Amino acid sequence: MIKLLIYTYLSMVVLSGCNAQRPSAKTQKNNNTLLWQVSGNNLKKPSYIFGTFHLLCKDDIKFSEQLKSSLTNADEVYMEMDMDDPSTMLSGLLYMNMKDGKKLKDLYTPDEYKKVEGYFTDSLGMPMMLFQNIKPYFLVAMLYPKMMNCKTASGVEEELMKLAKENKKEIKGLETMQFQASVFDSIPYEWQAKELLKNIDSFSVYKKEFDTMVLEYKHQQLSSMEKLLAKSEVGSDKKYEDILLTKRNINWVDQLKTIMQKESVFVAVGAGHLVGEMGLLNLLRKEGYTVEPLLNK
């Protein structure tokens, strides 16, 4: 269950021989790709950025040969968190809980709580007593499998981890579970509770948006995904976009500026972090890097 919550919400062979040459990456003219190369600005070797989607039908998760070679060429893999560290999962049990003994029932009127409890029990088959202490925003992730048009779902990050392990790559995290949990502690629990209720009340609308977003992701239409995020009626993260996206993106770029000088890395984070004025791609360009779209088919 912890794995599901982490993968769905949160919120990526060194060549032997010192003179080994890397094959040239195949770029493309348009920006319709999830795979990007970062070079220039005195980097000795290029690094790569890949936009993930935290939950897809497993059969829809396919990695191109260029993505595989990009990961192979990188020295290490960075994701939002170090997902192959068992302590990440264990700490999730602690940090997903609300502070100060808050309980879900405290955040709703009796009628509202009855509606939420009924949905989890009847539609999801999960007793609400299991989630009394968990931050409401994490519980939104429990709705995602209900939106899937398949029986077997998986996280893109989870499949990338398998690929990284096959290539004996170290996986590291740009953030800790403790930090990600603190992000949600900075957003009022009452507001999170309203968002959870809103997602339940507007489930059909949200599922339609989710289906469209999945389709655009599969077609690697980053600009369309950016527009969908901007006009979403139920995903009103916009109120706290600075906390959930912008500040985190800035922090990641600050880290990558140091990391990429030392080694080549393959960075895999949610595709929503790539786009926009304050997205990773634009922020890296502002820092003087050359950021190019790579063929990813």
| pLDDT > 80? residue 94 | no
* Residue pLDDT, tens place only, 236-251: 456 788 888 999 999 9
Q: What is the DSSP string of 1-15?
A: -HHHHHHHH------
The percentage of the chain sitting over the pLDDT mark of 70, rounded to a whole number, equals: 90
What separation in angstroms does the CA of 262 have from each of 74, 76, 114, 153, 258? 12, 11, 54, 36, 7
* Residue pLDDT, tens place only, 148-158: 999 899 989 99
Supply the pLDDT for residue 8.
44
User: Tokens 């930090």, residue?
Assistant: 179
Supply the pLDDT for residue 237.
53
Instruction: Answer for the pair 261, 38: CB distance below 8 angstroms, yes or no.
Output: no
Kindly list the domain boundaries of the chain, sorted by start residue: 2-6+31-293
Amino acid at 209: E
| pLDDT > 90? residue 284 | yes
Amino acid at 212: T
Instruction: Answer for the pair 237, 244: CB distance below 8 angstroms, yes or no.
Output: yes
The percentage of the chain sitting over the pLDDT mark of 90, rounded to a whole number, equals: 67
Any idea how long the chain is? 297
Instruction: Pick the closest to residue 35 from 63, 61, 10 (CA basis).
Output: 63
User: Tokens 């493309």, residue?
Assistant: 28
256 pLDDT band, cuts 50/70/90, is very high
Q: What is the mean pLDDT of the chain?
A: 87
3 pLDDT band, cuts 50/70/90, is very low
* Residue pLDDT, tens place only, 105-164: 999 999 999 999 999 999 999 999 989 999 998 899 889 888 999 989 998 999 999 999
Q: Roughly how many angstroms between the first and final C-alpha of the chain, as a whole number? A: 32
201 vs 95 pLDDT, higher one: 201
| pLDDT > 50? residue 27 | yes
* Residue pLDDT, tens place only, 199-210: 999 999 999 999
| pLDDT > 90? residue 277 | yes
Supply the pLDDT for residue 92.
73
Answering whether pTM is above 0.75, one says yes
CA distance 215 to 224: 10
| pLDDT > 50? residue 253 | yes
| pLDDT > 50? residue 223 | yes
